Chain A
Amino acid sequence: MSDGSQLYDAILNGDNVRAGAIARELLDGGEDPLALVTRHMVPAMDEVGRRFECEEYFVPELLLAARAMKAALQHIRPLLAAGGVEPAGRVVIGTVKGDLHEIGKNLVSAMLEGGGFEVTDLGADVSPERFIEAAGAKKADIVCLSALLTVTMPAMKTTIDAFRNAGIRERVKILIGGAPVTQQYAEEIGADGYGENASTAVALARRMLNPVHA
Chain B
Amino acid sequence: MPAGSREVVLRALAHEPTERIPIDFGGTSVTGIHASVVAALRDYYGLEKRPVKVHEPYQMLAIIEDDLQRAMGIDVESVFARKTMFGFLPEHWKPWRFNGLEVLVPGQFNTTTDENGDTLIYPQGDTSAAPSGRMPKGGFFFDAIIRQQPIDEDKLNPEDNLEEFAPIADEDVARIADLARAARATGRAVIGTFGGTALGDIALVPAPGLKNPKGIRDVAEWYMSTHSRRDYIHYVFSHQCDIALSNLEKIHHAVGDLVDAVFTCGTDFGTQKSTFCSLAVFRELYFPYYKRVNDWIHRNTTWKIFKHSCGSVERFIDSFIECGFDILNPVQCSAAGMDPRHLKERYGDRIVFWGGGVDTQKVLPFGTREEVRRQVLERCETFALNGGFVFNTIHNIQAQTPVRNIVAMIDAVHEFSGAAALSGKA
Contact = CB atoms under 8 A, between A and B. Distances in A.
A150 B360 contact: yes
A101 B143 contact: yes
Chain B interface size band reads: 20 to 34
A63 B399 CA distance: 31
Given A55-B274, A197-B273, A151 B399 contact: yes
A20 to B, nearest CB: 14
A14 B278 contact: no
B274 A14 contact: no
B361 interface: yes
Contacts of A63: 220, 223-224
Interface string A138-173: 000000000001110000000000000000000000
A100 B134 contact: yes
A9 interface: no
A67 interface: yes
A63 B224 CA distance: 6
8 contacts: A55-B274, A58-B276, A63-B224, A67-B224, A98-B138, A98-B139, A101-B143, A125-B116
A55 B140 contact: no
A179 B272 contact: yes
B136 A98 contact: yes
Interface of B: 116, 118, 134, 136, 138-140, 143, 219-220, 223-228, 271-278, 281, 360-362, 365, 398-400
Contacts of A150: 360-362, 365, 398
B134 A151 contact: no
Contact of A58 (B116, B278, B362, B398): B278
Given A98-B139, A100-B134, A60 B224 contact: yes
A196 interface: yes
A113 to B, nearest CB: 15
B227 A180 contact: no
* Majority-rule SS of B interface residues: loop
Given A58-B277, A59-B271, A64 B138 contact: no
Nearest to B366: A150
Looking at B116, B226, B274, which has the most chain A CB atoms within 10 Å of its CB? B274
Nearest to A100: B143
Nearest to B146: A102
A14 B227 contact: yes
Given A100-B134, A151-B140, A60 B227 contact: yes
B131 to A, nearest CB: 13
Contacts of B140: 151
B224 A64 contact: yes
B227 A64 contact: yes
A80 B274 CA distance: 36
A64 B228 contact: yes
B276 A59 contact: yes
Contacts of B227: 14, 60-61, 64
A99 B365 CA distance: 17
Contacts of B275: 58
Nearest to B364: A150
Contacts of B361: 150, 179-180
Nearest to A125: B136
Given A150-B360, A150-B365, A151-B400, A60 B223 contact: yes
